[in-house]
Amino acid sequence: MPITGHPRHLQDGYDVVVVGTGPAGMAAALGARDQGADRILLVDRDADPGGILLQCIHSGFGLHAFDEEITGPEYAQRYLEQVLEHDIDVLTDAYVMDISPERRIKLMSPTVGITGLDARSVVLATGARERTRGAIHIPGDRPSGVMTAGLAQRMVNLDGYLPGRRVAILGSGDIGLIMARRLALEGVEVVGVFELLPHPSGLMRNVVQCLDDFGIPLHLSTTVVGIHGRHRLERVTVAPVDDDLEPLLARSWDLDVDTLLLSIGLIPDAELARELGVLFDPVTGGPVVSGIMETSLPGVFASGNVVHVNDLADWVSRESRVAGEWAGALASGARRPAEDVRLIPGDNVAYVVPHTISRDGTHTVSFRVRQPIYAPTLLRVGEVHQRKVRAVVPAEMVTLKLAPQMLEGWTGAVLRIDAVPAEAVVR
Amino acid sequence: MGPSRRHDVVVIGGGVVGITLARALSRYQLDIVVLERDAEVGFGVSKANSGIIHSGIHADPKTMKGQLEWPGNEGWLRLRDDLGFGFAQVGELLVALSDGELRTVEHLHDQGERKGVPGLQRWDVDRIRKHQPNLSRDIIAALWAPTAGVINPYEAVLLIADNAAANGVEIATEQPVIAIDPPDPHEPDGPLTVRTPTRTLVTRYVVNAAGLRADEVARMAGVGTFTITGRKGEEYLLDKRLAGLVTSVIFPCPTPTSKGTLVIPTFDGTIMVGPTAEATDDKDDTATTPEGAQAVFAAARRLVPVISQRDVIAEFAGVRAVAEGDDFILGPTARRGFINAAGIQSPGLTAAPAIADHLVEVLRDEGLELRERSDWRRRAEHPVRFSVLSTQEQEELAAQQPDFAKLVCRCELVTKAEVLDAIDRGARTLDGVKFRTRAGMGRCQGGFCTWGCLELLAERRGIPITEVTKRGGASWILRDREDAHAAPTPGS
Ligand SMILES: Cc1cc2nc3c(=O)[nH]c(=O)nc-3n(C[C@H](O)[C@H](O)[C@H](O)COP(=O)(O)OP(=O)(O)OC[C@H]3O[C@@H](n4cnc5c(N)ncnc54)[C@H](O)[C@@H]3O)c2cc1C
């Protein structure tokens, strides 16, 4: 894979600086170019552009963006080629230390030292990070061999090592499911996936293709309650949980494993946004964004997993394109649309992104439900729009398109999004 | 290696006691070796404790513990001035919730004053509330001891070890002492021979600072006059969000076996609650337990009601080395040249500098000539901590050395240059790098930097990445692909 290196001359000022070169960052940079932004810089702390895609060597990417199923690195490659064709500067191995509210960016890299540069617009596309053992408090020892599924994925896929020989996986997030299959293919024994909730938190297609097809058991309503091993992990204790998610210790059992992978969720890696003091959504853990993916600080945009954890890279690219287009347009002197409609989560909806929209634009609205409904479900956008779907589950993000004509004649200021069983709706 | 050179002092155990003693001895013209069983120094109980440098009010002045507690506190101040690790005298507040406890407060106030602990004050409810508004409304009075402080125990031990090494002390890790040979029958007072699986050392003096294993080491020398039992303590670190909940160490009234469960504003600014005090047959048992957590939080909530188990972000346990008589065992033995520093339970961290001074005198009494060195370096050369430098200093460093512009850990802003320096200073494991540089201690808990640290350790030490461990022994981190199909080796 041809990796760019460092732009020969870092310019002092850019129209658009995009932090992060995953699917979000690259799509945003291209969007900015579409809107005529001239000087665009993509920055990444890793040595190679592509973000987390580079370690996702499984297929399942691109079905929406390219109408075909490709792997993560291929997906990154396609975007990177476009980025290079469009003469966008790419600076890797560079860590953005700080961004001022005036959009002065301070970064460090072995090639340029510590440098400051100004941007008319900034797009934060820094993705998400994995939740760790500290987030869930499992009693016991603290041996080696307990790690996030993502770290194991990087070891196996990028560097060709194995995390262990007998593995249990806590949490049924997508990375954990994918790693179950990946390790099984490597000859590692995967004794099971243990999920606290009564339903899987990863995509159904991953449950089928990664567990069922490999005979790996999925234990729902079960969790790890003990970790044993002075040096290396030797054993974990698992137990079913009751309706309040409290472990039933009397029914616990032990598993001899040398590795425990944690796939217990992602959280937006939004530290730069936090330091900038922008508004946050406590549910997503990411910044509040407008219909053009701008944060509460003018000129600072955010998109992709740093805003809310998506389940497909394709969704990230789409949303980031919007962020990049507007970052570019604003840098070129365009005016931002008036946004006077608020979107808020209603019945059985955990969060909605974006948080505000304009009446006269077309918007893709993304949200997640709180509880699964395995029956026809009505998705309602206030009084202006509704759509029926076959089922909804928290693992799968739901998207709806809102067009200006739907809002014609409607004069309200708040649209509540609901996801309720279709039968229960009395019309 | 054969017994080619004769050492003056071999210190067995690289915990805070052994390391502080080695540093104290390093100012004299002596050949000193510290033998540490683990891959890193200070990774025994010296890393897993509350990090409190006690004021000195607690221990009975008739005991060694009581005599060395307050001088130890003063010793830490001097060590801090020399070496510059973090030690903040945040003060302690010992609170009473009943009339019975009030009497304990009075007793400790009295005892502290007799021991010369400065600044003690009795506080009433208004004063308590003014300074610590988050404490329980059931508290009726408190004893304020301003000299109590908090440190990062591992940081302190590592800096003391670095300084000792800079002054010529050899610190050898992964060197468990397995035998101390009986002396030559013709020369019963002659030198001692200390063996590890890979080395044999001949020395005039041995100091037994082997913590939980000090009884075994004493038996090796033929002077097994005591046994060490374990008393485990669990500690729970709370979310950074709660920083500032209390600004001094909050103590309940003590029980006969423990100072009770404390609420501690750690040197790093996070709040920690603990420890428990449970007898354990298994000295290596550092597992946290649901019962321990329950006990800690029930006790902590008596002091600070808003504390909740939901805020836990990390937990650990340490085991205190308790000898019969419940006191430190310091001094010579029937085996000439073999000196004990055993049973160093709480307040061992506090007392360590005073224990070291005491042992230097013991060694002198036993005939060790102490001639000051003219080239002794009192101060340590500090590892650079990039994250705390000014912007200008950061820019200059980064311009001079590209490794200072290469980020390894982003949560704690640790650069490649710092990780390499830590390895050069002796870090051999992932945890060794972590505790020296803070890489991996931040909010992503190593998710981002683990791989980078592994690669740097392998590269700098010239070993395959599969041989890098978390903290030595069998704590391997990854395997070669081919190994997946191989039969598992026993015990791993
Ligand atoms: C939960 C808890 C909280 C505490 N809080 C405080 C506090 O706040 N303040 C305070 O003053 N004290 C505190 N203490 C007590 C304090 O931590 C100890 O007293 C002190 O750290 C003891 O230091 P050490 O060097 O004797 O032991 P260690 O740190 O255990 O050092 C002994 C070393 O010897 C090595 N060793 C053992 N056998 C051999 C061998 N055969 N060959 C070579 N090496 C060997 C071990 O590997 C170890 O590194 C606490 C203790 C606990 C458990």
Q: What is the pLDDT of residue A363?
A: 96
3-state class of B110 per DSSP? helix
For residue range B351-399, what is the model confidence (pLDDT) as tens digits? 999 999 999 999 999 999 999 999 999 998 889 999 999 999 999 999 9
For residue range A348-373, what is the model confidence (pLDDT) as tens digits? 999 999 999 999 999 999 999 999 99
For residue range B13-61, what is the model confidence (pLDDT) as tens digits? 999 999 999 999 999 999 999 999 999 999 999 999 999 999 999 999 9
Residue B344 to residue B210: CA distance in whole angstroms: 9
For residue range A24-65, what is the model confidence (pLDDT) as tens digits? 999 999 999 999 999 999 999 999 999 999 999 999 899 998
- Statement to judge: residues A45 and A124 lie in one domain: yes
Of A109, A135, A162, the CB nearest to B478: A162
DSSP type of residue A357? E
A188: which 2 tokens?
A: 């590692």
The tally of domains found in chain B comes to: 2
Q: What percent of chain A has pLDDT over 90?
A: 92
Whether B325 is covered by a domain: the verdict is no
Mean pLDDT of B427-452: 92
Q: What is the pLDDT of residue B492?
A: 38
Q: What is the pLDDT of residue A185?
A: 96
Told to judge if B58 belongs to the known catalytic residues of this protein, a careful annotator would answer no
Residue B186 has pLDDT above 90, yes or no: no
* Amino acid letter, B231: R
Smallest CA-to-CA distance from B244 within B132, B137, B123 is with: B132
B429: which 2 tokens?
A: 């494991």
For residue range B402-414, what is the model confidence (pLDDT) as tens digits? 999 999 998 899 9
Say if residues A367 and A74 touch (Cβ distance below 8 Å): no
CATH number of the domain within which B245 lies: 3.30.9.10
Burial B137-149 (b: 16+ CB within 10 A, else e): eebbbbbbbbbbb
Domain range for residue B239? 87-147+230-312
Smallest CA-to-CA distance from B182 within B132, B232, B222, B142 is with: B222
- Report how far ligand 1's centroid is from the alpha carbon of B284 (Å): 12
Cβ separation B407–A165 shorter than 8 A: no
- Statement to judge: residues B296 and B397 lie in one domain: no
Whether B362 is covered by a domain: the verdict is no
Q: What is the pLDDT of residue B300?
A: 97
Among the ranges given (A121-125, A366-370, B444-448), the one the predictor scored with the smallest mean pLDDT: B444-448
Q: What is the mean pLDDT of chain B?
A: 94
Say if residues A375 and A345 touch (Cβ distance below 8 Å): no
Q: Which residue spans within A59-163 are E strands per DSSP?
A: 59-61, 70-71, 89-91, 95-99, 104-109, 113-124, 128-130, 146-148, 161-162
Q: What is the pLDDT of residue A3?
A: 40
Question: Does B233 sit in the ligand 1 pocket, CB within 6 Å?
Answer: yes
Q: What is the pLDDT of residue A75?
A: 96
Q: What is the mean pLDDT of chain A?
A: 94
A99: which 2 tokens?
A: 């961004």
- Statement to judge: residues A176 and A233 lie in one domain: yes
Q: Where are the alpha helices (DSSP H) in B59-186?
A: 64-83, 99-115, 125-131, 153-166
Give backbone dihedrals phi and psi of B81, rounded to 5 degrees, phi first: -60, -35
Could you tell me the sign of the dihedral formed by the alpha carbons of A75, A31, A342, A413, in that order? negative
- Statement to judge: residues A391 and A244 lie in one domain: no
Smallest CA-to-CA distance from B189 within B339, B362, B336 is with: B336
Distances (CA, A) of B283 to A237, A306, B256: 22, 45, 21
pLDDT grade, residue B1 (50/70/90)?
very low
β-bridge pairing A300-302 and A349-353: unpaired
- Statement to judge: residues A21 and A107 lie in one domain: yes
B206: which 2 tokens?
A: 């041995």
Cβ separation A129–B448 shorter than 8 A: yes
Mean pLDDT of B140-147: 97
Residue B24 to residue B30: CA distance in whole angstroms: 11
Partners of B141 in the β-ladder = B96
Whether B160 is covered by a domain: the verdict is no
- Statement to judge: residues A252 and A311 lie in one domain: no
Q: Which of B258, B283, B312 is the last residue of a domain?
A: B312
Q: What is the pLDDT of residue B482?
A: 78
Smallest CA-to-CA distance from B150 within B382, B349, B433 is with: B349
Whether A74 is covered by a domain: the verdict is yes
Cβ separation A132–B444 shorter than 8 A: yes
- Report how far ligand 1's centroid is from the alpha carbon of B383 (Å): 24
Residue B175 to residue A227: CA distance in whole angstroms: 28
Does the model's pTM come out above 0.90? yes
Question: Does B292 sit in the ligand 1 pocket, CB within 6 Å?
Answer: no
Q: What is the pLDDT of residue A426?
A: 54
- Statement to judge: residues B264 and B121 lie in one domain: yes
Residue B184 to residue B140: CA distance in whole angstroms: 64
Among the ranges given (A200-209, A333-342, B252-261), the one the predictor scored with the smallest mean pLDDT: B252-261
Q: What is the pLDDT of residue B491?
A: 40
Q: Which of B312, B335, B353 is the last residue of a domain?
A: B312
- Statement to judge: residues A246 and A273 lie in one domain: no
Q: What is the pLDDT of residue B239?
A: 87
For residue range B97-142, what is the model confidence (pLDDT) as tens digits? 999 999 999 999 999 999 999 999 999 999 999 999 999 999 999 9
Residue A9 has pLDDT above 90, yes or no: no
Whether B251 is covered by a domain: the verdict is yes
Question: Does B288 sit in the ligand 1 pocket, CB within 6 Å?
Answer: no
Among the ranges given (A375-384, B119-128, B286-295, B482-491), the one the predictor scored with the smallest mean pLDDT: B482-491
Say if residues B51 and B30 touch (Cβ distance below 8 Å): no
Whether B127 is covered by a domain: the verdict is yes
ipTM of the complex, rounded to two decimals: 0.92
CATH number of the domain within which B451 lies: 1.10.10.1100
What residues of chain A lie within 8 A of the CB of B477, using their CB?
144-145
Residue B203 to residue B352: CA distance in whole angstroms: 23
Cβ separation A144–B399 shorter than 8 A: no
Mean pLDDT of B235-264: 92
Burial A45-78 (b: 16+ CB within 10 A, else e): bbebbbbbbbbbbbebbbeebeeeebbbbbbbbb
Q: What is the pLDDT of residue B137?
A: 96
Distance of CA A42 to the CA centre of its chain: 19
Q: What is the pLDDT of residue A5?
A: 52
For residue range A222-279, what is the model confidence (pLDDT) as tens digits? 999 999 999 999 999 999 999 999 999 999 999 999 999 999 999 999 999 999 999 9
Residue A4 has pLDDT above 60, yes or no: no
Domain range for residue A231? 132-264
- Chain B residues 449-478 with a CB less than 8 Å from chain A: 450-451, 465-466, 469-478
**Secondary structure of chain A: what % helix, strand, coil (to 5)?**
25, 35, 45
